[in-house]
Structure 1
Amino acid sequence: MRMIPATPYRTHSQAEQKVFDCLRTAEVNESGDTLLTAFHSLNLSRHKHKRFGEIDFLLCGPQGLFVLEVKGGGVSCTNGRWTFTDRNGQAHEGKESPFRQAESALHGLLARLKSEFSSDILNQFVIGYGVIFPDCDWRQTGSEWDPAVLADARGFRGFDSWLVNLFEHWQSKAFGVARDSVASDAAVDLIQKFLRPDFEAIVPLRIQTEQVIDSSIRMTEDQLTWVDVVEANPRTLCIGGAGTGKTFLAAELARRWTATGSKVLFACSSPWLKAWLDVRLNIRGLVISTFDGLEIAAQRARISQFDAIIVDEAQDLMRVVLIDKLEAYLLNGFQNGRWALFADFQNQSGLLVPTEAGALHRIEQYQPTRVPLRTNCRNTLKILENIKFRLGADMGVRGSGYGPAVREFCVSTKEDAVKILANQLDELVKGGMTHSQITILSPVPYNESIVRLLPPNWHQVIQPLDSYLIRSFPPDLVSFSQIHDFKGLENDAIVVVDIPNAKRSENLTYHYVAMSRARAYLAVIELNCD
């Protein structure tokens, strides 16, 4: 279903957020060329009782016009008095029932529409309302409502079916509208265009980013259930695309294994990722090392063999010589020891080190439990869709919110690229994002990048990163990094520069790694687009 606005704006209601997500993914039968559209939160100037009434959601499409009232938390009714209890346990009384609120808001909407459109247009629409209690089971009955218009926690779990039944319920009650008729595409288009300016605000980038980050945090916590699976098996191979939470899960597993008194090695290929983890995983019993630094790290820790090994970005381990080297430090070896590998074999293999075909076969001979990580908890749906369309890479499902559109530019000269980069940075800052939320990624070093050609005012606020500065990432300034150094890391806004046109590139790994670093905002400025 199409959502307007594309991301929920200024709602602190978790219940409305739940309904927003369900509406966005709802699959209902569409008729004609016009899609059913859900509008979120509209102030009605002609509400019957209040100067400014608010509709939580309005559905408009060939099926009709339907107002949805959402009440989260606990709901009860005693002697006609309604009580609503929020997630903090605070109770609030209301004189008007949710059903009356929805009906009143619907009449306010119709009064507005009747002043603008003829009866020939409006009579094509079935009209109705629904009430949603997503957090409680509603057992009460009453003459004020029909069960068909209410979705409590049970009905909410089958949201698509409830929505179809709601349409059919009001269709059966429609006066003067044929039972199976639908509004014409032309009529729906007129109403939707009239409503849209009242609903769709221009959401500042800062607000969109905050919403994405909140969703990302919730999803990452949801994925902690996978840690239980990994912890219960002595040998695991966790496979997922960029943004599926591999590093997060690996870090949590390190905390759990060291908490039992085990000496654990956390290995990766990137010195920058190692430096970043050093600061954030300062845990007794845990040693963090790159593959190249294993010998020195073990010597410093005075450990000849570790009780367990965790490998992040394990696609970079896929050389037999590296596997042999790592196995020497694992108690009982890969055959009988305790280990967990987190990898993206499909999209990131071979970026830092060449991959050997027999290496993965070697790991699989030890019969590890395979854990598929399919839920993306970093990138927005817009970013996921763009990467899949441009690069053909599947990064998992769901995504952390809808987010702003991906900005794509393809230019023939560096001068044009510099102008676009400056405009993008201006747009981000004016949109309310801080310098620390922005990272510029390039396949080439800073002194070879178009970044050095920016106006002097930008040079003062751009900080090229290194293996020391990454420890306190993000800095207070806009950061710059080469793409391969930034593997395993992320930021709210990513601007990719100096990269060739994807259509002309045989190896798209750099595109994939760079684009998948963005949590909320992504801009890609490609060169050589003659």
Structure 2
Amino acid sequence: MAIMHPFRVPDEVRRDPYREAEVAVFERLRDQLPGDYHCYYSRPWLGLTPTGEEKEGEADFVVAHPAKGFLVIEVKGGAVSRRGDTDEWTSKNRLGITNRIKDPVKQASVSKHALLAKLKEQPDWRARFVTARHGVVLPDCSRPRQSLGASMPLFLFAFAEDLNYLAEWVEARLGRTDSEADDPGRGLGPDGMRAMHRLLAADFELRPSLARALREDGREIERLTREQYELLGSLEDIPQMAVSGGAGTGKTLLALEKACRLGEAGQRVLLTCFNEALGAHLARLTSGFPSLAVASFHSLCARMAHQAGSRLPSGGGSQTFATELPDALLTAVTQREDLRFDAVVVDEGQDFRDNWLTALRLCLRDPDGGTFYVFHDDNQKVYSHSGGWLLELPRSQYPLTRNLRNTKTIHLCAKPWYKGRATRSAGPDGMPVEWVEVKRREDVPARVRSALADLAGRQRIPPAQIAVLTAARTDGHPLCSGGTIGGLRCGPAGGDPDDGVVFDTVRRFKGLDRPVIMLCDVEELTEPELIYVALSRPSVLLMVFGTAPALARLRDGPGNG
């Protein structure tokens, strides 16, 4: 039994009474030819005329054999006739209706030469002669006693009497004849069969345009984020509140919007966070709001102490960050009441110690009644402090339960590393996470450069929408040379977006995001907090580069690596 492409006649063809002849030939070729034959049914092709114009055609059947070559077959049902003076071909069906048809011999011949030309265009095709023949099957016509014309000897045709011996006719067509110049037995060979299959029945999957996906998914995420802003209106009458949620639920954007609304209302507002890079990013976004003071927490402490003329701690150890700088902040607002704020908005509250939050609250002109909002991540897997201060802060708390930043695929990727209040992804489905496996860790820089060149070049993704994050140090990293990665300018997180691609550590990128994240050195990514941060930073596309064990550990989740 021959191998058929498609495996069976499509239902719409089988139900069409005008294609009964094709169905009959399909079944006989399938049942009569041995298994080393491949038969392709209803194969269209597109070619060019000598003048460069497009021409198209269709081969009813292409029968291919590795040792014997290929045969193109045209099938015409009904009673077929031709007028010699006009070269007009017609077919009369069983209802007596006559239809004009194309010259089947010419159709088969043209398709044969078109396929030969297409084969020669294949990149791995070895130049050689191949037995290529054409023929016509007329299953409703009886065999005539003489040739149909100089260019139409009877051996080109199979008639109704030949249907039960169609395999023998195919073998004969691919064998020796007296009037055909090409030699028989010049088969396609294994490579030719592969090339023929690529031409006529290859599987393919076209990747969506990444630039288009970024635009469409980005617009959907922006729409969802605008909807989230409506929440602030419903909470407007609650002066002090803790707002919790996992990565992507919009905490930073809500904190930013809350601070801007308070500033537009004429209040002196402090917007602060833990991460220095995020603080710089927020400060740049709010540069047009003079009533807003924006800085990371420890930068704020140093700035306020300087403004008050207070002495800054001289050390730089853990004690300085834990208590001395926060104490300097309190001293500053005690010495200068004008430095106090009408409202304080805190992002990344999960990273703040209780004494830091206390210091910030005491920066309010009215610590008990002033506006004090803390936005924090409730992921119990990664943030180990008790959070008692946050629980006691407001008379009410508000949980965010919709992930608005990440596509569904990215949300599911980071979800195993999250243990908190259940969140659901409201974003678009998105593209699959790309796990790029390398044999050796040393191979990662080359793979990242190649992928980055493809994104910024062929895919036309603006470099400013891409961040390359490492779990190692950026100083002396083999990926970056002279402030560029593969010829593309790069800079640290929180800098000028015109610097192009962000290249920074996962830790410094906390609280930030980009449409595309390329994650490398994942062998060093062992802290659950940083894994959670790393996997949840992209909004549209996540690419993770590493060895097989490292990728499996991130993909499978905690306790499964």
1:201/1:368 CA distance change after superposition, 3 Å: farther
Note the alpha carbon deviations across 1:210-244, whole angstroms, 9 max, x for none.
Answer: 11101011000010111113322111111011111
- 1:433 matched to 2:461? The reply is yes
Q: Is the 8 A contact 1:287 1:297 kept in 2?
A: no
Letter in 2 for 1:513: V
Q: What TM-score do you get using the length of structure 2 for normalisation?
A: 0.52
Judging changes above 3 Å, is the alpha-carbon distance between structure 1 residues 424 and 235 closer, same or farther for their aligned structure 2 residues? same
* Matched letter for residue 360 of structure 2: L
Distance 1:391 1:278, change over 3 A: closer
User: For residues 306 and 236 of structure 1, what CA distance do their matches in structure 2 show?
Assistant: 17
> Once the 2 structures are TM-superposed, how far is the Cα of residue 520 of structure 1 from its aligned partner?
0.8
Is residue 522 from structure 1 mapped to residue 522 from structure 2 by the alignment? no
Contact 1:417 1:450 in 2 (8 A): no
- Counterpart selection for 1:285 from 283, 291, 297: 291
Measured in 2, the distance between the counterparts of 1:198 and 1:337 equals 65
* Larger relative contact order (CA 8 Å, sep ≥ 6): 1
1:444 aligns with 2:478: no
Q: Which runs of 4+ in 1 moved over 6 A?
A: 197-200, 390-395
Count of residue pairs brought into register by the alignment = 319
Shift in CA distance, 388/276, structure 1 to aligned 2, threshold 3 Å: same
Fraction of identical pairs, as percent: 26
The 1:200–1:516 alpha-carbon spacing in structure 2 relative to 1, beyond 3 Å, is same
Shift, 1:528, TM fit: 7.6
The aligned runs of 1:114-133 (5 Å cut-off) are none
- 1:471, distance to aligned residue in structure 2 (A): 4.0
Greater radius of gyration (CA):
2
Unmatched runs of 5 consecutive residues or more in structure 1: 1-196
1:387 corresponds to: 414
C-alpha distance in structure 2 between counterparts of 1:522 and 1:264, whole Å: 35
User: What secondary structure, in the 3-state scheme, does the structure 2 residue paired with 1:500 have?
Assistant: helix
With over 3 angstroms needed to count, the CA separation of the structure-2 counterparts of 1:252 and 1:390, relative to structure 1, is closer
Structure 2 equivalent of residue 486 of structure 1: 509
Q: Which residue of 1 aligns with 2:235?
A: 230
Q: Which secondary structure state, in structure 2, belongs to the residue aligned with residue 488 of structure 1? A: coil
**Equivalent in the alignment of 2:518:** 495
The aligned residue for residue 496 of structure 2 is 472
Gapped regions of structure 2 (runs ≥ 5): 1-201, 309-335, 551-561
Q: Are the counterparts in 2 of residues 305 and 329 from structure 1 also a CA contact under 8 Å?
A: yes
**Deviation readout 1:283-308 (Å, 9 max, x if unpaired):** 13211122213344446496332111
Separation in 2 of the partners of 1:451 and 1:460?
11
Q: Partner residue of 1:138?
A: none
Tell me if the contact between 1:237 and 1:368 (Cα under 8 Å) persists in the aligned partners.
Answer: no
The Cα of 1:458 is off from its aligned counterpart by: 3.7
- In the alignment, the residues of structure 1 paired with residue 418 and residue 262 of structure 2 have an alpha-carbon distance, to the nearest angstrom, of 37
- Report the 3-state secondary structure (helix = DSSP H, G, I; strand = E; otherwise coil) of the residue aligned with 2:222: helix
Distance (whole Å) between structure 1 residues aligned to residue 381 and residue 275 of structure 2: 13
How far, CA to CA, are the matches of 2:485 and 2:304 in structure 1?
Answer: 43
Contact kept in structure 1, 2:404 and 2:427, CA below 8 Å? yes
Shift of 1:393: 7.9
Q: Give the letter for the 1:514 counterpart.
A: A
Question: What's the offset of the Cα at 1:389?
Answer: 4.7
**Structure 1 Cα separation of the partners of residues 487 and 207 of structure 2:** 30
Cα 1:337–1:330 shift into 2, 3 Å: same
Matched, 1:332 2:360: no
Q: Is 2:370 the partner of 1:370?
A: no
Partner Cα distance (2:375, 2:492) in 1? 25
Equivalent in the alignment of 1:111:
none
Q: CA separation of 1:471/1:448 partners in 2, compared to 1, >3 Å: closer, same or farther? A: closer
Q: What TM-score, normalized by structure 1, do the two folds share?
A: 0.55
Mapped partners of 1:471, 1:230: distance in 2: 33
Tell me the residue number matched to 2:356: 322
Residue 444 to residue 394, structure 1, CA distance change in 2 (3 Å): farther
Q: Retained in 2: the 8 A contact 1:270–1:290?
A: yes
RMSD, matched Cα: 3.2
The question of whether the paired residues in 2 share the 8 Å contact of 1:501 and 1:529 is answered with no
**In structure 2, how many angstroms separate the alpha carbons of the residues matched to 1:308 and 1:363?**
17
Letter in 1 for 2:278: L
